[in-house]
Amino acid sequence: MNHSSIIRASALEYVRGVTSGEFTAEEFLSETLSHIEEAEARYNAYLHVEDGQKLLARAREIDRGIKSGQKVGLLAGMPVSIKDNICMRGSRTTCGSRMLEGFVAPYDATAVSRLHAEGGIIVAKANMDEFAMGLTTEFSAYGPSRNPWNTGYVPGGSSGGSAAATAAFECVASLGSDTGGSVRNPASFCSVVGYKPTYGLVSRHGLVSYANSIEQIGPIARTVSDAALVLGVIAGRDEHDDTTADAAAADCGYLEGIEGGIEGMRVGIVDEMTEGADPEVARAVERASKDLEAAGASCERISLDMVGYSVPSYYTITAAEAASNLARYDNLRYGYDLSVDGYEFNSYVAEARGRFGPEVTRRMILGGYVSSAGHAGRYYLKALKVRAKLTREVADAFASSYDILMAPTVPILPFRIGEKSDDPVSLFMVDLNTVTANLTRRPAVSVPYAVSAGGLPIGVQMMADSMQDKTLLRAARALEKRRAPLPEVPD
Amino acid sequence: MQPRLITTLAIPQSGLVTEEEIESVSKLVRIKVADHREHVEKVRDMINFFDMLDSAGVEDDELVMDDVPVSRLREDAHESFGGLSGYVRQYRDGYVRVPKMD
C-alpha cells in the first residue's frame, strides 16, 4: 500500500497492515495528523485535536509491542475520534456548547476505556450540535461542520463532525451518539456506515446525558465490517450503567458470521417511511430491495401506522428528558467564570444558562411545557403511550414475519447549510425514519447505497429486533456487497 | 416532495402558546431569555406539531412502566475521581461559594 494513501484504509485493512508490518502505527498516525491539519480548514469536523506528540508516543509504544509479539489490542493503534459529548479524562468536553467551554473531563467514559484497552488512539473530539440537539451540526456553538461531498451542504447531525471526519479520512472510525438518528443521519449524508446498537448494548457511562431512555453510543465507520469491529470493542455489560444488557446477551463477536449473507431472510419495506420520500431516495430503496432479493432475501411492503406519530412522540419525550438533564447546569459544579456576588440563587442559575444556544433554550422551554402539571396529560403521557403502541407494532412485525425492516435513512437528500435552520418543524421531519429505532430500542444501521445526480450521498436504513445486532450487521454487509460501486469522496 | 407526515396529516393550529406562557415556563426551568418574542413563534410551531398526538388514538391505552428491582441498581457509594474541587468555579478555603438563597 502506498504510504500517501494509507489513511484511506478501512479499519480491517489498517489492522492487517499494521500487524503484518506493511506500515507502522506511527507512520499511519503521522499521516493522519498531517491530513487533519490540512482538512480541518475545509470541514471543521473537530473541536479539539489531542496533543500530537503524546499520540505519536503511544503509536510508537504500539509498534514496539507488535515487533516484540505482545498483545496490542484489536485496534492496534488505530486513529479514532469521539463525539464531544463523550468524556475522556484530561480532554476538553464541551458538547458543542459555550456553557461547557474549557471543561476538562475528570474520567473516561466506559466506551473510551474500552477503545483505549484495545489499542485505539483517540485523536480528536468531534463537532456536534449543542448537547446533541440538532440534525445538521449547525447548532454547534463553534460553527457548523461541512459535508466532505459538498462543503456548501450540511453533514447531518448531531454527530456530524464524527461522520464528516470519517468520510474525509481524518480518522478510521469515530464514536457518535444516537438519540433520534444522530449517528445514522450524518452517516447517510456523508456516505459512511452509522450503527445504532440495541438500547443497552453499549454503556452510556460518560456520555453527557440528553435523553437517557433513548440514546446510545454507536460507531461510524467506512464499512459495515469496520462498524462491527468497533461495536465489538465498546459493547457489553458495565456496572456503571444499569441499563446495559448482561454479558451473554451482549456477545461481542460482531464480526463472526458477518459474511453469512441474507438468504432466507424476510425484509419489510416500511410504507410510512418511503412514501413521500425524494424520488431519487425512493428509487435507491427500490434498487436496494432488488439487490437483497438477488442475494436470496424476500422483500415486501409493510405498514406501521404509528410511525406517522413517532416524530412528535420522540420530540415530546426528548424535550422533557432534556429539560430534566440540563437542569444540572447551574454553573456551580462546572461551567464558566461568572461570579455569584450580587445574585440570588435562581437568578444566578438563570443568568448562567444564558450561555445555552437558541435551540437548547427552546428545547428546555418545550420540555418544561410538555411535562408541566397542566400539559403533561396532553403531551408527555400521550407521547409515552404512542411510544408503547409503536413498540408493540414493531415487536409484532418482527415476531410474526420479518427479520429486517428497511427504509431510506433520511427521506430527503442532504441540504445546504442554512437552508432549514430557521424552520424547526421542517428539520424535525429529517428524523422521520430514524426515531422509530430509538423509541422502540431496536438496533438500526445506515448503509451508504448511492449518490444522487447532484453528487449527494443516499443511505439505506435497516432495522432488526432487539439484541439481533449480529443479524442486522449480516444483512447490512449483504447489501454493502451487492450495491453498485460508489464514487470516491471528492478531494 | 415532502415526507408523508407533512403531506397527509393535518397539523392542528391551536396557537395557544402565548409569550406570557413561555415567560412563565422559562422561569420554571430557570433559564434567562432576553426577549421571549424571539422564541414564541418557533415554540408555538413545535407545540402545534406535538398536537398531532391528539389523533393517535391512544387515549384509552394504559401506560405500562418497567419496574427495575432495587437489587439491579449499583451500590449508592461515593466514587472518588480525585481533584474534583478543581472543577468547582467558586471554591475558596475548602468551601464552595454559592449565591444566597432567598
| Nearest by CB: B43 against A306, A366, A432 | A366
> Residue B63: inside a domain, yes or no?
no
Closest CA to A414 of A446, A458, A445, A450: A458
Q: Is A83 a catalytic residue?
A: yes
Per-residue pLDDT, A488: 92
* Residue that the C-alpha cell 388514538 belongs to: B57
Residue B93 domain-assigned?
Answer: no
Q: CA nearest A103 in B: which residue? A: B87
ipTM of the modeled complex: 0.85
Asked if the model's pLDDT at residue B20 lies above 80, the reply is yes
Residue B85 belongs to a domain: no
Nearest alpha-carbon partner for A212 in A200, A220, A194:
A200
CB-based contact B58 A361, cutoff 8 Å:
no
pLDDT of residue B3: 38
- From chain B, the residues in CB contact with A335 under 8 A are 89
B16 touches chain A (CB under 8 A): no
According to the model, what pLDDT value does residue B16 have?
65
Q: How confident is the model at residue A164 (pLDDT cuts 50, 70, 90)?
A: very high
Q: pLDDT grade, residue A37 (50/70/90)?
A: very high
CA–CA dist A459, A449 (Å, integer)? 5
- Which residue of A lies nearest to B9 if distances are taken between CA atoms? A308
Cα dihedral value A119, A121, A127, A131, nearest 10: 40
Query: Out of B32, B61, B84, whose CB is closest to A350?
Result: B32
Verify whether residue A158 is a known catalytic residue: yes
Higher pLDDT, A93 or B94: A93
Q: Write out the three cell numbers for B100.
A: 444566597
Residue A134 is predicted with a pLDDT of: 95
pLDDT above 60 (res A249): yes
**Number of residues written out for chain B:** 102
| CA atoms within a 13 Å half-sphere pointing along the CA-CB vector of A271 | 8
- State how far the Cα of A125 lies from the Cα of A82, in Å rounded to an integer: 5
Number of continuous H segments (helices) and E segments (strands) in chain A: 16, 11
- Which B residues in the span 44-73 are in contact with A, Cβ-Cβ below 8 Å? 45-47, 49-56, 58-59, 61, 63-64, 68, 72-73
Question: Is B49 within the bounds of a domain?
Answer: yes
Residue B99 lies in a domain: no
Q: How many structural domains does chain B have? A: 1
Q: Active site residue: A91, A182, A313, A446, which one?
A: A182
**Domain membership of residue B18 as a residue range:** 1-56
* C-alpha Rg value of chain A to the nearest Å: 21
Q: What is the largest CA-CA distance in chain A?
A: 72
Flag whether B21 is in a domain.
yes
| Residue B7 included in any domain | yes
Strand partners, A174: A81, A220
Among the partner-chain residues B9, B34, B100, the one whose CB lies closest to the CB of A344 is: B100
Query: Does B37 contact A at CB distance below 8 Å?
Result: no
Residue B74 predicted with pLDDT over 90: no
